A and B are shown apart, each in its own frame.
Chain A
């Protein structure tokens, strides 16, 4: 018996150059901050940033903010991803539906989520549901577009072959359309997750009493650049982590695709 193919050597091996670049950036930051050419009030040293991060971790503020933000982004993402995927499969598979809704999507898509914050506040107040809906909306549009594109690119010969082999509609969906579109769905979810973080920041800046972006705003009012740097670091790391996790999960399911 032959073994199933193992995915090519990505993942850990690819981390080398990335860590190298991070090291260079860190070194430049260190040199610039210690050179005295920038006022310390504007650019914190890596050491002070680390200390600010450790402070907020010790006080529990970091965990509380991270928890609030992750909960919002996670719920908004889940809602948007489910609806966006469903719409993407529908419009990608049925050109008639696609022709009807494409103009609407083309109009809505260029409007950034942050532009919708005032409207979302007016409609839903500044509570949690307004934030979740804003994130869900931004994720929905992004996921819809990617999934639609992937589904409409499923080779017609795959669907024809399935019909000629006597597969009924249900099997054509679960055994052909779903796996054929899976690489695109995975790409859509990764992109959707990054959009969720962007929308999260927009939503929290629009009025919140907790969360990573809320904390950034508060720290900004007190000109605590060390804390702001720490917050930005956490946001960036969060994005990278989520993407790595989704990519790793995806590779398990989409083992046949090179992307």
Chain B
């Protein structure tokens, strides 16, 4: 269950300042896992904001499936860099927030929330508040919450950027695993070339001012390809 995403002649900017983004057309097929790679300020987070419906384009349009994006919607889930968990709700409560939309009976909602937390390896922490959880655990809750709403597109904005290296590697394999199981379309923003190559089937390098697509590479399955890494690093370095 997943939707494709299309960006058509998209531009974005804030007020009368210079545009932050001038994209050519981009298409993300249903079920694909794409990394948007680039230095900070290249507009990669803006792309995500446009698809999420947080930011309105100054020109062009975004479509998810066959519907143009007019604002945020539950078919496009978001995982934020700083988790954006509600501190007044437990881990389970945060996931239940996402499930309320489905109008389930209370017991079923609870059962599903616990199942979603178990899926991200956090069955133990269900009753804990975000402040009692480590960064990695909080991001697991955020992932469980986003997936519980059953999105068809998952938008992730440098979700593992604040985590230590070990936790980060674990979260990457968890995400790969979840994606393989669910087949949700994923757009993953990062500035880490190795993270992009480890996760995605396609890496798009953004850069320049205003931001635009510098390179678009398919990442072959199998062991990491040093030549591809060097090539992408050159694209990034040309900035």
A interface residues with partner B (beta carbon < 8 Å) = 1-2, 4-5, 155, 157-158, 160-167, 171, 175-176, 179-180, 182, 254, 256-257
The answer to whether B145 and A158 have CB atoms under 8 Å apart is no
Give the contacts of B111-153 with A (CB-CB under 8 A).
127-129, 131-132, 145-146, 149
Q: With A164-B73, A256-B88 in contact, is A2–B149 under 8 Å at CB?
A: no
The answer to whether A161 and B78 have CB atoms under 8 Å apart is yes
Residue of A nearest to B52 (CB): A164
The answer to whether B101 and A167 have CB atoms under 8 Å apart is yes
Q: With A4-B127, A163-B71, A165-B97 in contact, is A158–B86 under 8 Å at CB?
A: yes
The yes or no answer to B31 lying at the interface (CB within 8 A) is no
The answer to whether A157 and B74 have CB atoms under 8 Å apart is no
Shortest Cβ gap from A95 to chain B (Å) = 14
The yes or no answer to B100 lying at the interface (CB within 8 A) is yes
Interface pairs (11), CB distance under 8 Å: A4-B129, A5-B129, A160-B78, A160-B84, A164-B53, A164-B77, A165-B74, A166-B74, A166-B149, A167-B101, A180-B88
The answer to whether B72 and A256 have CB atoms under 8 Å apart is no
Main secondary structure of the interface of A (DSSP, over half): helix
Shortest Cβ gap from B138 to chain A (Å) = 13
The yes or no answer to B76 lying at the interface (CB within 8 A) is yes
Shortest Cβ gap from A96 to chain B (Å) = 15
The answer to whether A166 and B84 have CB atoms under 8 Å apart is no
Residue from B78, B86, B127, B131 within 8 A of A164 (CB atoms): B78
The answer to whether A161 and B84 have CB atoms under 8 Å apart is yes
Shortest Cβ gap from A7 to chain B (Å) = 12
The yes or no answer to B54 lying at the interface (CB within 8 A) is yes
Chain B: interface residue total (CB-CB under 8 A): 29
Which residues from chain A contact B101 at a C-beta distance below 8 Å?
A: 165-167
Give the contacts of B69-95 with A (CB-CB under 8 A).
71-74, 76-78, 80, 82, 84, 86-88, 90
How long is the Cα–Cα vector from A175 to B146 in the complex, in angstroms? 17
Which residues from chain A contact B87 at a C-beta distance below 8 Å?
A: 256-257
Residue from A1, A2, A179 within 8 A of B86 (CB atoms): A179
The answer to whether A165 and B131 have CB atoms under 8 Å apart is no
Residue of B nearest to A160 (CB): B54
The yes or no answer to B199 lying at the interface (CB within 8 A) is no
Residue of A nearest to B54 (CB): A160
How long is the Cα–Cα vector from A254 to B88 in the complex, in angstroms? 8
Shortest Cβ gap from A196 to chain B (Å) = 28
The yes or no answer to B193 lying at the interface (CB within 8 A) is no
How long is the Cα–Cα vector from A176 to B89 in the complex, in angstroms? 10
The yes or no answer to B163 lying at the interface (CB within 8 A) is no
Shortest Cβ gap from A255 to chain B (Å) = 8
Closest 8 pairs (CB-CB, A-B): A166-B74, A163-B72, A157-B84, A166-B101, A2-B127, A161-B84, A179-B88, A164-B78
